[in-house]
Structure 1
């Protein structure tokens, strides 16, 4: 009997950590590191090994033009090779769209709608010409209208309606392609505090976005799980609505330096992060709407866990 009680106690102590480890984990991977993985098999293998060490199950890999290059259009064989490698290791690859370099926040404006649709068309055309084990598993787009200079109290409803119209166009283009890869945006948690009417329905922006897409990656940038102004408190409305309509929410977390400190796990240690992640998983792990975590971003997360990428320009070379 004493042995049984000791076993039960041990299970209780390790259960939260075990639950956190079971949650799906993704990483936003932006232009330069994405292209480095595509162009160098050595870099790709090292990155994929890192993802496996850290239980990352999905990579959001940049898939648009950057610095005069557009390999998803001009050198698709690079994506084919990388996605094959990732799939062989059990790692999914989502096409990451949206870029500071391209100023894609403008895509919510009607005059830039063609560019927004072309962004997704490149991925759909790539997938149509790729073998099953070489195809993207999904799409994540990061288009943030609040980055526009014209964002203010007077214009925000117009710009958010532009985001919703752009989103509807992207989803319609996916349907027309006959493909079924899931598409979802990076979405700020505070969009659940803005209500507007769109297509005859008055809802929060967050609810409209969840209705229109397959999932959302919620930019829930806080460094503690519980209490006021926390990861769980800011995700609650989106989780409740996603459960109601049968969609998923991936909880986005930040690892890069920034102000105020509460926005990021930067400056904390990995064990402290895992404790907070375990609390989120403990609260949401059994809910259908919970899609795990996505980390911002690849290089920042690697620095955080003290396992920097060999080609990271911020980390000095070892002597």
Structure 2
């Protein structure tokens, strides 16, 4: 009977197709912006250094910038560079998400109807890239950085801008379904979005819940330098994680290392050991919750600079 069971198991595995061997439990991701992403794409030495650094810091997911920068758009002009780098990451058990949206392109404007086509074209390029790439060269997901609150009219037109963001989000996910891609797609959103009630498609609820209803996951910009207390990482992420569990979604908690005038926003003024202590406390609060994905660090270049500047 054991021999027969083994035969059936092998048959089922064969039918299931190839899988990534020893896939790691994902607990750390990192935003990687234009200069560092383009450097990794164009230099094998930079890619080698990145892989070594990511392994050393236990980071298993790279949000790799995949749009235009300084007059070039490598995902269009030289997609073979993405194929090569993603394949190398995959061999190193590192997952790759296409990071879309940037200050360089002023993608906060993409929530406006006049920029809808640009936004959809940006995402469609990733779907098209994946459709043409071999399995080991494909993006595992997409992370969107489209932040309407950056627009100057946010103070007076907040509801309209958030409605535009939700309409765009709906169209992005429709394009994903149309493409047939199975990749995970989600945006970076601020933690305070759960405090803004919004009516959309006949339902009134916190804006964050509308966003979570649409996407596969969210990366919550949960920018605080401490885990516990009423103004900490845990408190600000609790509602989103509870809602994600109720609807079968995932939340990643973003943390900051860039300098900020409000010290509590970033770990920049602290040591690496301080950040690790606080993240361990936050993880302990959520690790039994299936909706908790892990932590996302902002961002690759600054994180490295910060680490070099601390003892």
> TM-score, normalized by length of structure 2?
0.91
Using the alignment, how far apart are the partners of 1:270 and 1:289 within structure 2? 26
In 2: Cα distance, 1:165 partner to 1:235 partner: 24
Q: CA deviation at 1:252?
A: 0.2
Q: 1:171 aligns with which of 170, 173, 178?
A: 173
Asked if structure 2 preserves the Cα contact closer than 8 Å seen for 1:253 and 1:295, the reply is yes
Deviation of 1:100 (Å): 0.7
- SS in structure 1 at match of 2:154: coil
Residue 128 of structure 2 corresponds to 125
- Of residues 184, 195, 198, the one that matches 1:196 is 198
CA RMSD of aligned residues (A): 1.3
State whether residues 27 and 296 of structure 1, in contact with CA within 8 Å, keep that contact through their aligned partners in structure 2: yes
Higher relative contact order (CA 8 A, sep 6+): 1
- The corresponding residue for 2:66 is 63
Q: CA deviation at 1:200?
A: 1.2
Gap regions ≥5 residues in structure 2: 1-23
CA distance 1:70–1:307, change in 2 (3 Å): farther
Q: Matched residue of 1:172: which SS?
A: helix
- The correspondence for 1:27, drawn from 30, 42, 57, is 30
**Partner residue in 1 for 2:84:** 81
- For the residue of structure 2 that corresponds to 1:306, the secondary structure is helix
Q: Distance in 1 between matches of 2:281 and 2:142?
A: 28
CA contact (8 A) 2:197 2:206 kept: yes
Alignment of 1:220-239 (within 5 A): 220-239=222-241
User: CA contact under 8 A between 1:37 and 1:44: conserved in structure 2?
Assistant: yes
Relative distance call for 1:278 and 1:23 in structure 2 (3 A) is farther
Q: Mapping of 1:272-287 within 5 angstroms?
A: 272-287=274-289
Q: Secondary structure at the match of 1:99?
A: coil
Q: Name the structure 1 match of 2:267.
A: 265
Q: 1:241 aligns with which of 228, 240, 243?
A: 243
Which of these residues, 173, 180, 183, is aligned with residue 181 of structure 1?
183
CA distance in 2, matches of 1:35, 1:202: 42
With normalisation by structure 1, the TM-score equals: 0.88
C-alpha displacement of 1:149: 1.2
Asked whether 1:288 is paired with 2:290, we answer: yes
Give the corresponding residue for 1:9: none
- Where 1:155 maps in the other structure, the secondary structure is helix
In the TM superposition, residue 151 of structure 1 has moved relative to its aligned partner by 1.0
2:73 pairs with 1:93: no
